[in-house]
Structure formats: structure tokens, C-alpha cells
Structure 1
Amino acid sequence: MTAVVTEDTWTPERVNRTATITMVVMLCAWSIDYIDRFSISMALPSIGEEFHLGKTAQGSLVTVFALVYMICQIPAGYLADRYGSRKPMLITLVLWSLFTALTGMAGTFGLLLLFRGLFGACQGAFPAASFKAIAERTTPRRRGTATSVMLSASGIAGLAPLLVAPLLTAIGWRHTFLWMAGCGAAIGIGLWALLPKALPDRLSRLPQTAVTTPEVSRAQVLKSPAVWKFAVLFCAMNMLSYGLVTWVPSYLLEARHLSLNATGVLSAIPSLVGFATTIFGGWLFDRYFHDKARWYLVSIATVTAVLLALM
């Protein structure tokens, strides 16, 4: 007979194991997300040559993804709250792999735009569900570290140029997208199956809010100044990172006349360094700034601005 799982079975060891497995699973899932997402930057020169596209038209392939991705974030959050994290993540992982494959089969520029937009819709539904998964499976004191491990996948995205460049050279951009789609779907389903059971509310919520805090409506969330401040922060960060990730490969190939493999290596360096610093930042927040988030964010933003000015 199957044992009945009760809250009494949630020992500290099981809670820690759940958090650790969740961090690893979500790191892998986000890595797939980023590699699929950023592969277009390596393929843009080849796509532009085949379809006779200028830089503006090439940029529209990135823009249509970003706009649809942005629009889908809010309804995706509702779906994650309504249905939990597991089902939305599975559906989006499979669907974005499908549209990755269809990108490789597109016969016209219009179809490319359509498939990139649909790809953006599927990936736009993923972050909300993944943050929900972290919140359901970690205690508040470990949540910063867990989230940073998950988001450090943006550094692992640095592997995308290293993986995609040899494939583009060997089999062309169309077959490269087909290959990535198959691998992404298979790995995504496997990772989804490994996601552990969520913690009970008494463990996943802050002690002082588990009982006394009233339910907050979605309208109140959308009216919250803090929510919009974080939206602006993420917008600024993503504008910077997307600009660099999208156009650096084209610059190295066309302006510096480097080989595709050399471009892949150089494009990977910033992201791979970011992998380690993102995890370190999450640990630093949990260790020293858990109750001083404002100081932490302002300090990082100031240092970033100074470094950009010196470049």
C-alpha cells in the first residue's frame, strides 16, 4: 500500500532535499529556455543571407519575440496561480520546442515572424510558472539562493554560441533549429517529471503571514507601486542584455570578420562569467541583505552603471 503523505513527514532533511532538487531542475529548464531563445542571434546572419534581409528586418525577428513575450507575462501569472506550476511548465516546454522546429521549416519571412511570435508566447508563459515552482518548494530563507541558481541559467546561455556555432557550420541553420527542438522537448519532459512535490503552506510562507495576512486580489497586485518598480528594473536589465546577446555575434562576424566558431567562443564569455556571479549574488542576498533589499539593489545598479560608463 502507498503511504499517506502528511505534513508530519516534512522533516528538515526532506525540505532541504526538495529545495535542492527544485533548484537543479529549474536551472536545467531555464538553461534550455535561454539556449533556445538566444540561438537566433547566432543564426541571424545566415537567415538574413537566405531571405535577403537587412538589419531592420533581422531585428524584427527579435522584436516580435520580445513584444509577445512581454504581453504574455501577465496572463501567464494568472494561469500559474490558477493551475499551479507543473502543468503550465510542461505545456510551454513542449510548445516552444514545436515552434523552434517550425522556425527551421519556415519558407517565407512572414512565417518566420509568425513562428517567432508564437515561440515568444510559449516562452512568455514559462517564467511565472517557474517562479511559482520555486515559491512552492522552498522556505523563505532559502528562496533568494534558489531563485539565483535558477536565474544563473542566463549564464549557461553562454553555451548557446558554443553549441550552435558548430551546428550552423556543419548542418546549416534550418537543421540546427530542428535538432534543438527535439532535444529541448525530450529534456524538458524529463525535467518536468523530476520536479518534487510542493511544500505545505506552513513551510513555504513567511511565519507571520501564513495565518494573519488576508488574501490579496489581482487588482491590488497590479496597483502596487513595488510591482511596477520591479517591472521597470527588469525592463532596463533585459533591454541591455538582449541588445548585447542579439547583436554581438553579428558584429563579430561581419565587422570583425571572425570565424563562426571564434564568434561562438567570444560571445559565450560574458554569460558564463554571469553564471557564477548570479549564484553568488543570491547567496549574498540571503546571507547579508535579506532585510536590506533596497541597499542591495541600489548598490548593484550603481556599480553596473559605472562599469558601463567606463566601457
Structure 2
Amino acid sequence: MDTTSTNRKHKTLILTLLVFGYIINTFDRIAINVAVIPISKEFGLTETQVGLIISSFFLSYAIMQPIGGSLADRIGSRKVIVYSLIAWSILTIVTGAAWSFLSLIAFRFLFGIGEGSFPAASQVSLAETFPQKERGRAKSILLAGGKVGGVLGTLVIAAIIAHFNWKFMFVILGFAGLILALFFWKYFHPVEIQLESQKTAGRKMSLKEAFKTPLMWKLTVIYFGISIVSWGSASWMPSYLVKIRNLDLVSMGAVETIPSIFGLITILISGWILDKYMVGREKYLIVFGSLMGIVSLYLFIHSPSIVYVIVYGSLSNMGVCFALVATLTMPLKYVASSSMGSATGMIYLGGQTAGVIAPTAMGFIIQQFNGSYNAGFWFLIAALGISLLVGMTLRVSNTTDTQAGELLQVR
């Protein structure tokens, strides 16, 4: 009984720290999406240049996904997470010292290297800490932390910039990350509470093997499509609300929180549904969510007022969140713990590659269509259509056990 109670406390501690890590991670990542509004005025940037600044981060961020995952498999998630948190916090502070378009490109690229190992390493921590039957809920709580960061982040960041300036905002966020890194260094020890999945794990799967597995490729493509929508919306929605819907910076931040709140609720519900009712049937949630997102985005384009923008934006975000949780939960259930970093690093590579493409592509499309954001949103609809089609082809064995170091076979 004491052992059970101790394990529960350790799991709660690990998950709590990871949630705060995701909140800070999201704050630091989305800060540029709001800051770029005053930055573009100060430096005289075009939409394409704004997209390049945002995409420069995702280029290095994408490259680090499989590298960070593989490192977490080899040396443990704790070291990778702590060093990543310290690195990206320092580089967040440095971003506040940017003086030109090229300096922003350089700092955001380095920031991506610092932050890129965190997602896959955190996935390894979940596998080290939680049994399979609890991983869907654990992952949904972790993703909810990111949504909390989205709910609070845009509003807080916009308020800081409005009252001070964008440079001071980056300094504040960076120091907050360094403080959190101290807590991780002292209290974050997932390896000490490994459960039965780690005890039975055998040969580790290499990155090369992950890239040869059909299931991993399908999940990577699905996550790519979902992430095009996520990062495209995150990058350009603030500018859309200010320039097209004529909101001021603080009002924009308030409006942006509403879809994020609905997304947060959806994420928490999704994890519970996946653990309780959809083992082996995760693809149906991916298909449903993708379809819901497509329809909502189409209606969003034709929104006659800000009220409809909020409603359809919220429904779109809910659909994307359904598909997102199902996609990222599948490797936790169908990949052995010893290979979690390599497998999820590949999937996250797809998502962050979308982060490289989406901001610049949307900026280019908007500029080519004479400032029409509707053309950019059609690009998001097409990307989500890819996730829908590939999601329909998913087949996995309906079982609760994985073979040591091996992926389940795709039917």
C-alpha cells in the first residue's frame, strides 16, 4: 500500500513538472507570434519576412526532434529535458536583444536547437513513468499544459508588450524558464520509478528502423497535416484579428484565449476516451477530428462577424485537438518504452517540419493574394485533408502488450 502511494506521488510530481514545462515551452514558442506585430513595424518587415522569422525556429526545432528522442533513449529523459530547458530559456532572453531581421533569424534558429529535444524526451518520461493503461490520460494532461500555455500565453504576452515592450517580454519569459529548470534539476527523476513496461523492454529500436515502419510514417504524415493547421493558425491568427477584424492587441489576446479553452477541454476528454473506449480504434478519433476541423475552417472563412470567428475558430480547434491527442497517444500504446524516443522523435519531426513550412507558406500566400487571409486558410484546409485521408488507412493490432523493442505490425 505504501509502495502504491509512493508511486502515485512520484507520478504526480513528474507529470506536474512536465505540465509546467509545457506551459513555459508554449509561452516561449508563441511569444514571437504576438511580438512580431510590433517587431514588423519597428524593422519594416513584409509578410514573407515575418514568416521566415517564425519558420527559422521550426527548421532547427524539427531537426532536433529525432536527435533529442534518440538521446533520451540512450542517456535518459532527465538530462535531455533539463539541458534543453536551460538552453532555450537563455536563448529566449537573447531574442530580446535582436536588432534586425537577420539577427532575429539567427536567434530563433538557435532557440529551436535549444528547445527541440523537449517534446520527444517528455514522451520518454511518460513511458518511463506510466503503465500503458494510463498513458492516454497522462499524455492528454501534458498536452493540456500546452493549451493552458496557449490560453494564458497570448493574453499575458500581449499585455506585457502593451505595457512595456517586446524586448522586455522575452527577458521575463527567459528568466521564468531558468527558475523552472532549477525545479527540474532537483525533483525530476522519472528513471527512479520505472514500471513494468521498462522492466520488460529489450532491444532499442534505432532511428533507421523507425523510418522503415509503415505505422510511424503514417502517424508522421498525419501529425504533419495537423501541425500545418496548428502552426499556421498560431502564427497568423493574431495578425488576422488585428489587421482584418480590427481588434487592438489586448482584445486580440482575449479573443485568442476562447478557442484555446475549448481545445483544452477537448484534449482532456480525448485522453479519457482513448484509454477507456478506443484501444485499437484510435483512427476513428483522428478521422472525426480532421473532418470536424475541415468543415469548421470552411465556415470560419465565411464568418460574417467576430462572434462567428470565435465560434468556428473554437470548433476548428476542437477538431484538431481530437486528432492531435489520438495521433500522439498511439506510439505510447504501440511502441515499447525502450524505443519511445526514436519513434516519437520521428513523428515530432513531421510536426515541426510543418512548423517550418506553415508560417512562411501562409505569409507568401497572403502576400500573393494581395493580403487575403482566406487564401491562407484554404491552405490549412488542404493540409487537414491529408490527415483525414491517411488516418483512414491506419490499422493496428488491438492488444495491450508490445513486443520488446518492436512496433506492433500494421495490418
Return the match for 2:29 from 37, 41, 56: 37
Q: Indicate conservation of the 8 Å contact 2:151/2:256, yes or no.
A: yes
How many Å separate the matches in 1 of 2:246 and 2:206? 55
- Count, aligned residues: 299
201 and 41 in structure 1: CA distance in 2 versus 1, 3 angstrom threshold: closer
172 and 214 in structure 1: CA distance in 2 versus 1, 3 angstrom threshold: closer
How many Å separate the matches in 2 of 1:192 and 1:150? 19
TM-superposition CA deviations, 1:30-81 (whole Å, max 9, x none): 0100011001111111111111111111111111111221111111111111
Q: Indicate conservation of the 8 Å contact 1:97/1:184, yes or no.
A: yes
How many Å separate the matches in 2 of 1:239 and 1:217? 27
Q: Indicate conservation of the 8 Å contact 1:15/1:138, yes or no.
A: no
The residue that corresponds to 1:54 in the other structure is 46
250 and 190 in structure 1: CA distance in 2 versus 1, 3 angstrom threshold: same
How many Å separate the matches in 1 of 2:183 and 2:131? 25
Deviation of 1:10 after TM superposition, in Å, equals 8.0
The residue that corresponds to 1:120 in the other structure is 112
Deviation of 1:202 after TM superposition, in Å, equals 5.0
How many Å separate the matches in 2 of 1:296 and 1:245? 23
Q: Indicate conservation of the 8 Å contact 2:242/2:248, yes or no.
A: yes
Give the secondary-structure state (helix, strand or coil) at the position aligned to 1:105.
coil
How many Å separate the matches in 1 of 2:206 and 2:87? 30
After the TM superposition, which of the residue ranges 183-192 and 96-105 deviates more from structure 2?
A: 183-192
After the TM superposition, which parts of structure 1 deviate over 3 Å for at least 4 consecutive aligned residues? 199-202, 213-218
Letter in 1 for 2:13: I
How many Å separate the matches in 2 of 1:144 and 1:307? 26
Q: Does residue 264 of the first structure (1) align with residue 257 of the second (2)?
A: no
28 and 296 in structure 1: CA distance in 2 versus 1, 3 angstrom threshold: same
Letter in 1 for 2:33: S
The residue that corresponds to 2:286 in the other structure is 297
200 and 102 in structure 1: CA distance in 2 versus 1, 3 angstrom threshold: closer
TM-superposition CA deviations, 1:274-307 (whole Å, max 9, x none): 1121111011100111232233323333333333
How many Å separate the matches in 1 of 2:176 and 2:203? 44
Q: Indicate conservation of the 8 Å contact 2:210/2:216, yes or no.
A: yes
Q: Indicate conservation of the 8 Å contact 2:137/2:275, yes or no.
A: yes
The residue that corresponds to 1:170 in the other structure is 163
TM-superposition CA deviations, 1:119-165 (whole Å, max 9, x none): 11111111111111111011111011101110112311221111111
Return the match for 2:233 from 234, 244, 257: 244
After the TM superposition, which of the residue ranges 297-306 and 79-88 deviates more from structure 2?
A: 297-306
Q: Does residue 219 of the first structure (1) align with residue 211 of the second (2)?
A: no
Q: Indicate conservation of the 8 Å contact 2:78/2:190, yes or no.
A: no
181 and 202 in structure 1: CA distance in 2 versus 1, 3 angstrom threshold: closer
Give the secondary-structure state (helix, strand or coil) at the position aligned to 2:205.
coil
Letter in 2 for 1:176: M
TM-superposition CA deviations, 1:76-128 (whole Å, max 9, x none): 11111111111111111111111111111012221110000011111111111
| Alignment TM-score, normalising by the size of structure 1 | 0.90
The residue that corresponds to 1:98 in the other structure is 90
Give the secondary-structure state (helix, strand or coil) at the position aligned to 1:53.
coil
The residue that corresponds to 1:253 in the other structure is 242
Give the secondary-structure state (helix, strand or coil) at the position aligned to 2:45.
coil
TM-superposition CA deviations, 1:9-43 (whole Å, max 9, x none): 98332333222222221111001000110011111
The residue that corresponds to 2:177 in the other structure is 184
Deviation of 1:219 after TM superposition, in Å, equals 2.3
Q: Does residue 198 of the first structure (1) align with residue 187 of the second (2)?
A: no
How many Å separate the matches in 2 of 1:55 and 1:132? 37
How many Å separate the matches in 1 of 2:36 and 2:60? 19
Letter in 1 for 2:121: A
Letter in 1 for 2:226: M
How many Å separate the matches in 1 of 2:245 and 2:291? 31
Letter in 2 for 1:136: E
219 and 152 in structure 1: CA distance in 2 versus 1, 3 angstrom threshold: same
Q: Indicate conservation of the 8 Å contact 2:68/2:118, yes or no.
A: yes
How many Å separate the matches in 2 of 1:151 and 1:44? 25
How many Å separate the matches in 2 of 1:105 and 1:202? 45
How many Å separate the matches in 2 of 1:203 and 1:130? 19
The residue that corresponds to 1:6 in the other structure is none
304 and 102 in structure 1: CA distance in 2 versus 1, 3 angstrom threshold: same
Give the secondary-structure state (helix, strand or coil) at the position aligned to 1:112.
helix
Q: Identity of aligned pairs, percent?
A: 31
How many Å separate the matches in 1 of 2:18 and 2:237? 27
After the TM superposition, which of the residue ranges 165-174 and 14-23 deviates more from structure 2?
A: 14-23
How many Å separate the matches in 1 of 2:98 and 2:214? 42
Letter in 1 for 2:205: V
Q: Indicate conservation of the 8 Å contact 1:28/1:191, yes or no.
A: no
